[in-house]
Amino acid sequence: MNFLKRFNLFEIVLVTVILGFHLYAATADAYAFPNNWFVRDDAYYYFKVAQNIALGNGSTFDGINMSNGYHPLWMLICIPIFALASSDLILPLRVLLVVIAGIHATTSVMLYRLVKNNLSHTAAILASVFWSFNLYIHATVYEMGLETPIAVFSVVLLLYSIAQFERSWRGKHLPVKQFAWLGLLAAIAMFSRLDLVFLAVLMGAWFIFRGTSIRYLLPVDIAILFVSMTSAVLLRTGFEAYNTTYASSAVEATLIALIVKIISLYLFGAYQHPHATSLWKTLRNIFSALVVSTVLVAGIYILFVQMGLGRNFPRSAFLLDFGISLILITASRLTARWFANPSRVNTESPIDQFKSNWRVWLSEGAAFYGVLGGLLGTYMVFNKIVFGTSSPVSGQIKRWWGSMANTAYERPASGWTSYFGMDAGAFETGQPFTEIIWKVSEKIRPIIPGADMVDERFFAVLLTVAMIWLLLVFFNKRRSSRAFTNLGLIPLLAGSVIHILSYTATSYGGAKEWYWVSQMVLLTLTMSIAIDLILRPLQRNTFVNYALVFVAFLYGANSANNFWRFIDYAMPHGVFPANRPYMEVVAYMEATTLPGEIIGMTGGGNVGYFIKDRTIVNMDGLINSYEYFHVLQEGNAALYLRGRGMTSIFANPRLLALPPYYGQFAPYLERYSSYGGKDLLYLLEEPKY
């Protein structure tokens, strides 16, 4: 009962509705699960590997090749669930749906409490209801069976820990073990999706440098320096040359610039309190720091190239980087000067500040990053020993795809809109919020006419919305500043920017819409702040405040009703016969291949999970071995797979003629059947030509 007393009525209703809807879905017809709910092929990579691990076959999709192409925390959750697959293939899917619903409900409650404790009750209801029942969020985060539910949960949990930390650290001596605990929470977020490592690292600086301007300025500077160097190279080379030739050298130069420029900015006083010196002196210090650091970065990288440690690099990019970083860092200091409280000025010099704090920074940093880095290092060493590579092979393969001028799979970022995560498709990191922007942009077609002006209309609306949000923040400086701090929006924003660039600036091919979980959380909290600031003048009247809460409840009821209509349609009961094949393509393959046969597919996740008495081998390499990745690069994949017993392939031959396959399978293939736009082909022992 004490546990239940911690929940208010709204939270109890919210959890009950979420779990009730999903329990109904979990008891739906078996056919609905692979065809209406868990429809993404990628999810079945987890399911089949988890099943094999539970059976004692090791981390393998096909029972032949060892693979680490997944995020580890979600795999740990899947293993006990898919131990049930040996008796019933649908039962684990039912259980997983309920587990995801539990994570979904917990995340929604945490989000509600986070917003309620730092903004207003109305904003909290709207944020949690929106997150709980928005169909895009549900389809992208909770419906696919991928790692996204635990990733969002981990991000919100980390932000929740920030809010608690902000209420407790002032005027107290914090034990080192608290930073070890925070490091563990950051590690949980990192292992939920490995690309959240940037957010995890930045969170450490947020905790350790509390009470100084460094905690606010450093995360933003890191994001700026990443944007600056990679953008400078792109301006110099163009996207095609960048993706095929310069991406690796741009990342190397960026890492050098991060170290050198941050140290230089600190020593020149650019991390002092914004009001510690005059505005002119602040600008002069930034200029001097960037001049010195730019010369050092250019010199170091040119030296590396001469020593054979670096790659070719457009040297004029260093000058462009200087200009971009100067503008952006100056803008960040002017913004900080506006928000900073001039009554809390610390005039210590950078050296004196370091002398006063280095022991505390070192001990707390060792605790936080010792846990975070220790767990990451252990994971990487384990992968190197077991799989032959320290990072998931799937990410390496997709960056290989991106380095090709043409490929059968999704291309890397090819323009500035995709580079900044604002393109339609896989690089649209603002969904579901940008969906509203797109709809509004169509309404202003009479103002900005023309079929070729779609992007211009979109960015006109986006800029207008951004300006309104900035004006709200401008006229509510104190409340906004407190919300940014308590909600951890600064490290979340910086981490989200670096997260986007970790894909768009590294020639990553095959990006997917479900990668952008931290951006969804960031925009949800950002919109919550806007709603709070808009409604704040009205909430001073008690009656109006109750009315606003009532309206928020009505919005919640309507959202829940729309969500229920989707559930009822997608997960029917008694509509599909129990003996209907789970997937028609599986029935076709079982009818046209022999028991025990090993079949290659360019994807094959769901077929590999549902097919009986056959083995599916993944040919694109995402859930195959590191050895296969190299064989595929060398053009010997056909012989490699034939040597491991693969006798047939189910794929589109035209796809196999394109990069990354480069037609290497063609001499070994003989077609004997077709289904659904794909051919079933013999894989011959000897080439035909």
Over the stretch 648-670, which tens digit does the pLDDT of each residue have?
999 999 999 999 999 999 999 99
Structure tokens at 563: 């969500």
Q: Give the pLDDT confidence score for residue 538 in this predicted structure.
A: 87
Residues 522-539, mean pLDDT to the nearest whole number: 94
Q: Which residue, among 632, 683, 627, has the nearest Cα to 660 in the 3D structure? A: 632
- The model's confidence at residue 104, banded by pLDDT at 50, 70 and 90, is very high
**Coil, helix or strand at residue 60:** strand
Q: Which residue, among 382, 68, 613, 93, has the nearest Cα to 60 in the 3D structure? A: 68
Place of tokens 């050298």: 249
Over the stretch 45-57, which tens digit does the pLDDT of each residue have?
999 999 999 999 9
Nearest 5°: the CA angle 347, 348, 349 is 115
Q: Give the pLDDT confidence score for residue 5 in this predicted structure.
A: 53
Nearest 5°: the CA angle 215, 218, 223 is 130
Provide the H-helix boundaries in 134-194: 135-137, 148-166, 176-192
Residues 482-504, mean pLDDT to the nearest whole number: 96
C-alpha 477/C-alpha 479 separation (Å) is: 6
Count of CB atoms situated within 10 Å of the CB of 510: 20
Give the containing element (helix H, strand E) for 681: strand 678-683
C-alpha 48/C-alpha 617 separation (Å) is: 12
Count of CB atoms situated within 10 Å of the CB of 331: 12
Residues 464-475, mean pLDDT to the nearest whole number: 93
Q: Give the pLDDT confidence score for residue 168 in this predicted structure.
A: 87
Residues 73-96, mean pLDDT to the nearest whole number: 96
Please, what is the average pLDDT of the chain? 94
Q: Rounded to two decimals, what is the model's pTM?
A: 0.94
Quick check: 1 pLDDT over 50?
no
What are the CA-CA distances from residue 199 to residues 202, 364, 379, 493 (Å)?
Answer: 5, 18, 18, 9
Quick check: 414 pLDDT over 70?
yes
What are the CA-CA distances from residue 471 to residues 333, 476, 479 (Å)?
Answer: 19, 8, 13
Is residue 77 within 8 A of residue 5, CB to CB? The reply is no
Quick check: 4 pLDDT over 90?
no
Q: Give the pLDDT confidence score for residue 3 in this predicted structure.
A: 46
Q: Give the pLDDT confidence score for residue 218 in this predicted structure.
A: 97
